[in-house]
């Protein structure tokens, strides 16, 4: 903490300042110009600490989220699924993921703040990551505190190696609200969730919106084009010519009268009457002629691809043309396996060091994980679920008949960890001990007793 505070209070650190898309493009161009070997955005001539400044595009990206329906739909789809599971402990047996269990220590993630839930926490986590590329959280007693991403800087220092410098080491974080004193935080005091690393930074993440900003702008322009199309009577552009003898005053009156009678959706398709000397020429194209839906649909698909959400999941037009809801299951599995599960794994690892695991914190024995078994989006089709349950039930029966305890069989099948199996020492089919004969059944005992009695009576009578 001392070195971190000294880095803040001493001379101004070098800053990796990439706050806009143009800054990012300039830094990338500079790196290519130097052959890709320069430390981008860091002033190499000044020794000491540097910092990876938070990108200043959060307000702009938040505006895209609020104004662009495609981005809104993709982000909400990611948020709804990402926020559905709960955190849980998972035991590691010889490095193999095994059974999952819960303890009271998970209450910090179950109730992260007064009135908050795990779903509220994960919703904010993925929203910050989507908009800013990073989500920062720290612990204050029994509550988790969100650090606004664009007010956080990552403090780093040079690594000295064999007389030179080898990359950067993370010292901690600095959180500073506008007009307030900076707050230093050590690296292990902050949960940093950055699912997509920024290639021009060491520890900072990058928003998936960055490569599609142009597409989002184009989509907004096309939405404005549609609005203007309907504002102008939903008809193509026209050029109206008047005779050159018409005075400017008469032209202005004609223009005002024509606009009042023919502009706006309510005036669409009215018959146009022109006086002597006036001529109308159509100069624009309508939506069908310029294939407007195809142009806009291609942009929507690129935005959805950057978000990792199949277009059919959010109901985009291009996705519904290429696939229908009949194969929605394949799109759902791709979204779950390729996008959501990696995000869950990263989030569990990011928050893992804020909570002490059970068992005295033995490294590698228990890890923080996620439980997605109750997530409705991931429920398989009824047929697939029935087939899986059938295979599991046959496996359980086979293992129990082989002499394993029912409790260990259930734990092993549930956790997919065969090292949990415990044998009884008995073997099928009657589970008798080795070298012993099977005990007779009650019916067999009664039959033998009756036969013995019937054999003894004649002998006793003859005596």
Indicate the pairing of strand 14-16 with strand 49-52. Answer: parallel
- Lowest average pLDDT, out of 56-65, 301-310, 337-346, goes to 56-65
Residue 288 CA: distances (Å) to CA of 169, 236, 285, 293, 425: 57, 11, 8, 8, 77
The rounded percent of the chain whose pLDDT value lies above 70 is: 60
pLDDT for residue 32: 41
What spatial distance separates the first Cα and last Cα of the chain, rounded to whole Å?
A: 106
Structure tokens at 110: 């179950």
Tell me how many degrees the CA angle 70-220-291 measures, rounded to the nearest 5. 85
Structure tokens at 204: 């900072």
The pTM assigned to this predicted structure is: 0.65
- Tell me the pLDDT of the chain averaged across its residues: 75
Question: How many residues does the structure list for the chain?
Answer: 463
Residue with tokens 């959501």: 340
- Lowest average pLDDT, out of 202-216, 223-237, 256-270, 439-453, goes to 439-453
pLDDT, one tens digit per residue, over 352-384 is: 989 988 875 555 689 999 999 888 888 765 567
- Lowest average pLDDT, out of 21-35, 333-347, 438-452, goes to 21-35
Torsions phi, psi of 197, nearest 5? -65, 145
pLDDT, one tens digit per residue, over 103-159 is: 999 999 999 999 999 999 999 999 999 999 999 999 999 999 999 999 999 999 888
Contacts of 327 by beta carbon, 8 Å cutoff, 6+ apart: none
Closest CA to 233 of 275, 262, 193: 262
Contact 211, 306 (CB under 8 A): yes
Q: Which residues on neighbouring strands pair with residue 193, listed in sequence order?
A: 135
> Crossing angle, helix 292-307 and helix 213-231, to 10 degrees?
150
Starting at the earlier edge strand, list the strands of the sheet with 86-93. Answer: 96-101, 86-93, 366-371
pLDDT, one tens digit per residue, over 271-311 is: 666 666 666 666 555 555 445 555 556 678 888 888 999 88
Distance CA 65, CA 75 (A): 8
Residue 356 CA: distances (Å) to CA of 5, 94, 106, 139: 26, 20, 9, 12
> Crossing angle, helix 58-67 and helix 118-132, to 10 degrees?
110
Structure tokens at 251: 């032209």
């Amino acid at each position: 903490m001392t070195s971190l505070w000294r880095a803040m209070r001493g001379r101004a650190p070098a800053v990796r300042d990439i706050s806009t898309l143009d800054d990012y493009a300039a830094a990338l161009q500079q790196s290519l110009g130097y052959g890709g070997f320069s430390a981008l955005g860091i002033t190499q001539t000044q020794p000491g600490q540097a910092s990876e400044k938070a990108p200043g595009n959060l307000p702009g990206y938040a505006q895209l989220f609020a104004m662009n329906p495609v981005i809104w739909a993709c982000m909400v789809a990611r948020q709804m699924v990402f926020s559905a599971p709960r955190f849980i402990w998972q035991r590691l047996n010889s490095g193999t993921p095994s059974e999952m269990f819960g303890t009271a220590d998970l209450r910090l993630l179950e109730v992260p703040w007064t009135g908050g839930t795990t779903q509220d926490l994960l919703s904010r986590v993925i929203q910050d990551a989507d908009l800013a590329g990073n989500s920062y959280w720290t612990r204050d007693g029994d509550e988790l505190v969100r650090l606004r991403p664009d007010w956080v800087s990552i403090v780093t220092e040079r690594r000295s190696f064999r007389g030179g410098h080898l990359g950067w080491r993370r010292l901690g974080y600095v959180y500073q609200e506008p007009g307030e004193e900076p707050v230093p935080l050590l690296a292990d005091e902050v949960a940093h969730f950055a699912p997509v690393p920024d290639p021009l930074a060491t520890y900072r993440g990058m928003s998936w919106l960055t490569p599609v900003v142009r597409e989002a702008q184009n989509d907004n322009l096309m939405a404005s084009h549609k609005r203007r199309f309907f504002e102008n009577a939903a008809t193509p552009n026209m050029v109206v010519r008047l005779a050159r003898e018409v005075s400017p005053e008469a032209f202005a009156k004609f223009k005002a009268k024509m606009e009042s009678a023919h502009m706006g959706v309510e005036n669409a398709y009215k018959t146009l009457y022109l006086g002597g000397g006036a001529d109308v020429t159509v100069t624009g194209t309508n939506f069908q002629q310029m294939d407007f839906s195809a142009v806009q649909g291609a942009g929507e698909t690129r935005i959805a691809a950057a978000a990792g959400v199949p277009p059919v999941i959010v109901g985009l037009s291009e996705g519904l043309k290429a696939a229908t809801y009949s194969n929605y299951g394949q799109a759902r599995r791709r979204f779950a396996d390729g996008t959501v599960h990696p995000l869950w794994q990263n989030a569990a690892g990011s928050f893992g060091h804020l909570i002490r695991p059970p068992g005295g914190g033995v490294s590698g024995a228990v890890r923080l994980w996620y439980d997605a078994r109750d997530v409705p989006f991931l429920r398989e089709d009824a047929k697939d679920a029935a087939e899986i349950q059938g295979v599991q039930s046959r496996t359980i029966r086979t293992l129990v008949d082989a002499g394993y305890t029912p409790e260990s069989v259930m734990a092993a099948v549930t956790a997919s960890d065969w090292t949990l199996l415990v044998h009884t020492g008995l073997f099928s089919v009657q589970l008798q001990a080795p070298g012993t004969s099977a005990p007779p059944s009650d019916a067999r005992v009664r039959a033998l007793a009756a036969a013995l009695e019937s054999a003894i009576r004649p002998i006793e009578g003859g005596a």
